[in-house]
Amino acid sequence: MIFKIHFYVVLLFITLLSTNSFASGFNIKKVEPMFWWTGMKNPNLQLLIYGENIGTAEVSINYDGVSLKKVNKVDNQNYLFIDILISDKTKPGKFQILFSKENKEKLIYDYELKVRTHNPDNHKGFNSSDVIYLLMPDRFSNADTLNDNVETMLEKSDRNNPDGRHGGDIQGIINHLAHISDLGATALWINPLFENNNPLYSYHGYAITDFYKTDLRFGTNKDYLKLVNECHKKGLKIIMDLVLNHCSTEHWFIKDLPVKDWIHQFPEFTRCNYRTSTITDPYASEIDKKLMLTGWFDRNMADLNQKNIFLATYLIQNTIWWIEYSGIDGIRLDTQPYSDKNMVADWSKSIFEEYPDFNIVGEAWLQKEAITAYWQKDTKNKDNYNSNIPSITDFPMYFAIASAFNEEESWTEGIARLYYILTQDFLYAKPENNLIFVDNHDINRFYENIKHDFNKYKMGLAFLLTTRGIPMIYYGTEILMSGEEHKGHGEIRKDFPGGWENDNINAFNKEERTPEQNEAFDYLQKLLKWRKNKNVIHTGKLTHYIPVDGIYVYFRHNEKESVMVVLNNKNTVKTLNLDYYKENLMNYSSGTDIITKTNIILNEPFEIPGKSAMIIELE
């Protein structure tokens, strides 16, 4: 059932105010958010108030431009949800919220409204002109060893444990932004930096214990602001990794639920079946759909019920708070299909109403094109569902790339996989918005998939960076890092060599990389820097030709220029007869291979080496 949300909830972690001592019967432990802004397009705000017996208090507000609409009391008397309306004429400042009882007990809480400012460097979104660099903060670089172990954090650093915390932090990322920008990436996606105060396996960031707080082992909220600002100074956009579907069982509101249906509950632990296809399957049983949507990801990750109106508002406002507070340019939404789809549509709509230039990519880890397309904004779905999320993870393309360069050629296998993936693009509303990748933090590293074959490496990246979509590069791909997922996530999330002071090799420095690593870095860098200013690759049309005998040819073209890409998936040299491609070559007489700078004469056949890619700028 689709519901509308006319107000926002935001979270905050604060200490007890001195005024609390005047109220022996109730107190305030948390108000979320700690502050909000005037001038927001949506004038509604819902405050979550948490404290002992606070639900027994009456509430009043007296401030010009701020109206108390409703006080929502729930089953747990330790919570209140206060709906307020902020007029467009409200002045920034602090106003008092009075909590009182008939016996004259009272408590006054000072709440702040900040002025909303516009920074042209913020909220820019991302698109097919960008190349995103993904990194896992715990495994990238450790600059501040003093925060490796924090007294209030349950898990301590253990770099010898592949599933433990290794100490990477925000300052480590800042210290190596030059590496990322020099490589040629234009945007940075960082796996979650939120607090994950769990006893074990807390480094990955997806079991959140505080939605408003940066994990102290990474840094502070102010450190995150610094990171965003430093990225913007270097021309790097920044994408926050965010989770709506679940949180840690160690989260404070899981330990003291506001209402029973805040999470999905069962008589005993019930795991999700992970079959997101059941959401779109017209023949799916109700039990399969229920287990998909309400089963838990893990014993330590409580499954949140976004149908609960208070929780839904809470999550929407939390996201908007972070966008406004930090100035980020985009969001990667974890496990998009696992959350209530109607709430997700409202969530994304609310974001774009405040930030029209923003962008969101939803993680839809699905095998087939049709069920992937379902989750993208404006797809023509039979049930008329619209997620309002412009970008979607293109796992079907990933699976094709992972297999294409290892297989013998046939009508459907080998290089033909790339062709057939693109022939399904009619299913997507905007396939150019798909996030495309050869690996990420959950799957085999690309160099592992292609069996450490450097020629295949170059072919895969050449295709990734010239086909349609928004390319993403996983940290370490530039230095041929390898690892198999089935050996454990620690294998595909190894530390970047040189990110720790005592590392034997510093792969951030060219002088300490191997010749093959430097060749890989230089190849990727050349592609990325060339792509950065190539509008024809960003937005040009794509015309491709049926692969024949291991040769796949396609063109990216617009009214001003054209680029020809040739992939030879055979091990032997092939001669290319250009007459077949004349509809895309008729206005050109020559071309230049952007990697080798070799001149190509187009009125005669030319050779392409085995297992290689050529990217030819036509002239």
DSSP state of 500: S
Distance CA(264)–CA(307), nearest Å, equals 10
Location of structure tokens 């998936």: 569
Those residues with Cβ within 8 angstroms of residue 451's Cβ, 6 or more apart along the chain or in another chain: 406
Query: Please, where are the H alpha helices in 106-220?
Result: 170-175, 177-183
Biggest distance spanned by C-alpha atoms of the chain: 96
Q: Which of 409, 547, 517, 401 is nearest to 462 (CA)?
A: 401
The gap between the terminal CA atoms of the chain, to the nearest Å, is 56
How many residues are given for the chain? 619
Residue-wise over 322-340: b if at least 16 C-beta within 10 A, else e? Answer: bbbbbbbbbbbbbbbbbbb
Kindly give the pairing relationship between strand 435-437 and strand 391-392: unpaired
Residues 6+ apart with CB under 8 A from 502: none
DSSP state string for 428-480: SS-GGG-EEES--TTS--HHHHTTT-HHHHHHHHHHHTTSSSEEEEETTGGGT
Give, in order, the Cα–Cα distances in Å from 484 to each of 14, 138, 428, 490, 493: 42, 19, 31, 9, 10
Peptide bond into 33 cis (omega under 30): yes
Backbone dihedral angles phi then psi of residue 108, each to the nearest 5 degrees:
-115, 125
Which residues are registered as beta bridge partners of 113?
Answer: 36, 93
d(CA 58, CA 102): 9
Q: How far is 64 from 67, CA to CA, in rounded Å?
A: 8
Token representation of residue 335 = 């496990």
| Token representation of residue 280 | 């779109």
166 and 160 Cβ atoms separated by less than 8 Å = no
- 334 among known catalytic residues: yes
> Residue 210 is encoded by which pair of tokens?
């505080």
Q: Which of 363, 425, 448, 593 is catalytic?
A: 363
Q: Please pick, among 32, 169, 223, 334, the residue that the annotation labels catalytic.
A: 334
> Residue 311: which of 5, 618, 619 has the closest Cα?
5
Helix (H) or strand (E) holding 195: strand 194-195
| Amino acid identity at 530 | W
Pair 123, 328: CB distance under 8 Å: yes
Nearest to 324 by CA among 138, 45, 29: 45
- Annotated active-site positions, please? 334, 363
